[in-house]
Structure 1
Amino acid sequence: MNQKMSIQRVSASIGACLLVIASSSNGAITEVTDRYTIQTDIIPSQSVIENTLVPVGAFNSFSHIYKDITNTYKGHPSFLFQLKDDKNGERVELCSSFVTDKVAEKIPPQQLKDIIAARALGQHSSGHVTTGDTWVYEYGLWIPSSVGENSKGIISQWHGTPDRTTVVTPDKKTERLSLRSFVHDLLAKMYFEKSIGYDKKTRKPNGYFVDQDGYPPLSLQINNGWFYVLARDDMSRVTDKTDRINLRPPEKGPVSSPGKTKHVCIPYMVKLKDIPKDKWIDMKWEIVWSDWAKDGSKILDQGSIKLFMDGKPVFSWKGYLGNNNEFGTYFKYGIYKPGASGISIRLAGFRQYKLGKGTEQR
């Protein structure tokens, strides 16, 4: 749901630092007050930031995104993300997956209504990318000196696009339904909270599960004094949210979830104190997402990651990478899952393009 609030001055304690942000009279620093749910909201074209991103997450006195045209990155305004703690908001991010009003007006009205009922707008976004190709992601990262040993958060992440009409039935069969059948037959007698199905009459779980998207297959994180990259694969076409696995430095992995549906590793880690603060870092990723059989029965090949920081190669890795879905992967940056002490981060200038094509892709 779109939320708006006018805030002229905000004070928030982030870590050991008191940050005071003012909306300047000349508009040099302004708060981004829109927030959207990309699965169900049609985005006004004028709300899209630099034609590539839309704001998602919490908006309250503890959660902020500021646009700053004084601290720019390669001619782009920067965006300062703030979350005060882990109790008043889970995320503030800019997201590459969305459907604008101009795209939505080309979809027949009843079909659009069904898409929104299924929470499946993401399947119609041009922000997600294909498997098997090499995709380049570039942006600027600025880590304030207030970010330290107690700071925590995911500051860049990639997500799979769920197929909201694929379900697991009570007898453990995976079924792909048509949009019409999912909305007008299945949702006529049940509803879903997150991935779990509930009978409309009894309001009790009925044994159905819907694809809700899994954990991010790739993320850049800060935690416990480490700056690191976490890579995953998820073998289930309908992700099993109960089969969990995580990994934190100094452990590298790979490790598997108890049910063997997920695998995770940390291909790169460095102490946070060794990362430059209060300056722009050029971030460039070259990523190939693993390809999957069309029916979701198996993974077909390995993916790969290359990371460059300020033009220098940081690491190169190959392995299974991504979620088992048909609709590709999309990007977000900002803050997700802050620690109790909060975190502030600045990012700017995002673009993505297919390597060798010479043109940006949206």
Structure 2
Amino acid sequence: MKNFTSTTSLLSGLFFTLFGCSSTDNLPNEELSLVPITERVNIQTEIAKPEQIIDGQWVPIGPQSPNSIQYDYTTLYNNKPSYKFELDENDNTIPGYNEGTTKGRAELSYCYATSTDFEGKAENTLANAQKILSVYHYGKGIIPPNSTSEHSFSVYFPKNMNTDVNTIFAQIHGMPDRTLVQNPDGDIYKMTDLEFLQLLETTIFKSNIGYEKVMETDKNGNPKYDANGNIRYKAGEANGWLVEQGGYPPLECGISKGYLYIKCNSDRKWLTNLDDRTNANVERTEVMVPVSSEYKTSTVAYKTPFSSFPRNCWVTFNLKITWSRYGGEIESITQGKIDWEISYKKDKALIIDHIINNENIYIGRNDENGYYFKFGIYRTNSDTTPLTYNLANYVERIASTNFKSPQK
């Protein structure tokens, strides 16, 4: 075990309040011990309504399945209910990265937009953002590029949790700009919102690939209409257009191959190449030895056998990230830094483990819109192992930045 260093003393002073194993004293009653959170928000296309915002800082995302996100009064943090996440065997309802694979999701997003974020803007701003899938670019919880950010959260893994699960329990995700495109001639450039909306008149994008927009017709050649009276369209032949779609999250905390791990990813290409699947294998890759292609780098920054990780108590993660700097169209990059401590109580003693000591690392994406935090269950690689755990106590601070949002 290592001691605190100056790089994390700020985090400790700002965020660090540690609680041991949970208590079930003073529960409201048995019926209210678990309270489902049933709302869901698509942060790319929807503004969050007041009744959809959880504890003033979260919105729930992903498919709505029974008991997937709940307030848990049986596993308290600081005398308040924590968030319990749970996926069963049949809850993988999202297509995976690779053909034939599936994913399951039950998460809370710290980033979202509300109607207030669009006040004073042009009348069609929200409608256009919904078509471009950029509503959340106008909202709260954005971690700017070229910044240093600090984060703290706590996780509670049950003692009987399966060690063979494949899940991401916390991640910092990119915010791709779909107006960055490649035309059929191979030219990459950024469109205005109006230009991209005009492109959508003739093109349907699936993932990053553009297809001809073809009107659906019945056997007599008449247009088909949806429930709102709008003509229905389908994707025809690929037309050569590509759009920025994003890629692997710059930071992920997960469990895979029997390890609890922290992985940092970087992509300096201006328009992401989704065919480049550079992604460090948690089982085979050594800690802090990057796996790289021409543009991408993936680094397992930390791993430990999950079987030996603390269970049945709250473990607090304190981290500080200096994000890599990217050069936009010229695709330059500078290294960032990462510093990380975990803290918990064992036999009433405080344990502090400095697991990543202010290491140089490539972390981030060559995007102008930054990043955002979310936590919960993101179950990948067609894994259907039932799993459940609790999260709480998220705090975020932007320590330094020279960023100005293009939207604000």
Task: Give the TM bin, normalised by the shorter chain.
Answer: 0.7 to 0.9
1:180 maps to what in 2?
194
Question: How many angstroms does 1:24 deviate by?
Answer: 5.8
Question: How many angstroms does 1:26 deviate by?
Answer: 5.9
Question: How many angstroms does 1:134 deviate by?
Answer: 2.0
Question: How many angstroms does 1:136 deviate by?
Answer: 0.9
Contact 1:24–1:30 (Cα < 8 Å) also in 2: no
The answer to whether structure 1 residue 66 and structure 2 residue 110 are counterparts is: no
1:79 maps to what in 2?
83
Separation of aligned partners in 1, 2:90 and 2:302: 26
Separation of aligned partners in 1, 2:389 and 2:63: 16
1:329 maps to what in 2?
371
2:174 maps to what in 1?
160
SS of equivalent to 1:181: helix
The answer to whether structure 1 residue 242 and structure 2 residue 275 are counterparts is: yes
The unaligned stretches of length 5 or more in structure 1 are 1-22, 358-362
Query: What do residues 142-177 of structure 1 show as CA deviations (whole Å, max 9, x unaligned)?
Result: 011232332220111111111121111122221101
Separation of aligned partners in 2, 1:212 and 1:125: 19
The answer to whether structure 1 residue 254 and structure 2 residue 268 are counterparts is: no
Separation of aligned partners in 2, 1:337 and 1:70: 24
Question: How many angstroms does 1:86 deviate by?
Answer: 6.7
The answer to whether structure 1 residue 49 and structure 2 residue 57 are counterparts is: no
**Change in CA separation of 1:272 and 1:25 when aligned onto 2, cut-off 3 Å:** closer
**Change in CA separation of 1:302 and 1:221 when aligned onto 2, cut-off 3 Å:** same
The answer to whether structure 1 residue 298 and structure 2 residue 331 are counterparts is: yes
Contact 1:76–1:349 (Cα < 8 Å) also in 2: no
Contact 2:41–2:52 (Cα < 8 Å) also in 1: no
1:352 maps to what in 2?
396
Question: How many angstroms does 1:242 deviate by?
Answer: 1.4
Question: How many angstroms does 1:283 deviate by?
Answer: 1.1
2:356 maps to what in 1?
315
Query: What do residues 54-74 of structure 1 show as CA deviations (whole Å, max 9, x unaligned)?
Result: 11112124x610112342223
1:9 maps to what in 2?
none
The unaligned stretches of length 5 or more in structure 2 are 1-27, 94-103, 215-234, 344-351, 402-408
Query: What do residues 184-239 of structure 1 show as CA deviations (whole Å, max 9, x unaligned)?
Result: x2111112112111111371111111112211111011012111111110122221
Separation of aligned partners in 2, 1:242 and 1:165: 20
Question: How many angstroms does 1:342 deviate by?
Answer: 2.3
The answer to whether structure 1 residue 270 and structure 2 residue 304 are counterparts is: yes
The answer to whether structure 1 residue 129 and structure 2 residue 163 are counterparts is: no
1:215 maps to what in 2?
248
**Structure 1 residues 271-280 or 127-136, which shifts more?**
127-136
Query: What do residues 11-57 of structure 1 show as CA deviations (whole Å, max 9, x unaligned)?
Result: xxxxxxxxxxxx96663421010111110011013322222211111
Contact 1:233–1:323 (Cα < 8 Å) also in 2: yes
Separation of aligned partners in 2, 1:147 and 1:173: 50
SS of equivalent to 1:116: helix
Contact 1:45–1:102 (Cα < 8 Å) also in 2: no
Separation of aligned partners in 2, 1:51 and 1:199: 42
- TM-score with structure 1 setting the length: 0.85
- TM-score with structure 2 setting the length: 0.76
Query: What do residues 306-356 of structure 1 show as CA deviations (whole Å, max 9, x unaligned)?
Result: 111114311132121111100111011101125221221210121101237
Contact 1:129–1:328 (Cα < 8 Å) also in 2: yes
Separation of aligned partners in 1, 2:256 and 2:263: 12
**Change in CA separation of 1:301 and 1:325 when aligned onto 2, cut-off 3 Å:** same
Separation of aligned partners in 2, 1:248 and 1:315: 16
Question: How many angstroms does 1:75 deviate by?
Answer: 4.3
Question: How many angstroms does 1:109 deviate by?
Answer: 2.4
Which amino acid in the other structure matches residue 290 of structure 1?
S
**Structure 1 residues 153-162 or 232-241, which shifts more?**
232-241
SS of equivalent to 2:45: coil
Query: What do residues 74-96 of structure 1 show as CA deviations (whole Å, max 9, x unaligned)?
Result: 34421110111376332110111
Separation of aligned partners in 1, 2:284 and 2:239: 41
Separation of aligned partners in 1, 2:92 and 2:272: 27
Query: What do residues 97-142 of structure 1 show as CA deviations (whole Å, max 9, x unaligned)?
Result: 2101222344332121111111111221221112333211111110
The count of corresponding residues between Structure 1 and Structure 2 is: 330
Which amino acid in the other structure matches residue 379 of structure 2?
K
1:360 maps to what in 2?
none
Contact 1:123–1:163 (Cα < 8 Å) also in 2: no
**Structure 1 residues 105-114 or 188-197, which shifts more?**
105-114
Separation of aligned partners in 2, 1:88 and 1:116: 26
SS of equivalent to 2:124: helix
Separation of aligned partners in 1, 2:333 and 2:123: 37
The answer to whether structure 1 residue 342 and structure 2 residue 386 are counterparts is: yes
Separation of aligned partners in 2, 1:215 and 1:189: 29
The answer to whether structure 1 residue 36 and structure 2 residue 36 are counterparts is: no
1:148 maps to what in 2?
162
Separation of aligned partners in 1, 2:203 and 2:319: 42
Which amino acid in the other structure matches residue 244 of structure 1?
R
Contact 1:86–1:337 (Cα < 8 Å) also in 2: no
SS of equivalent to 1:132: coil
Identity %: 28
1:88 maps to what in 2?
92
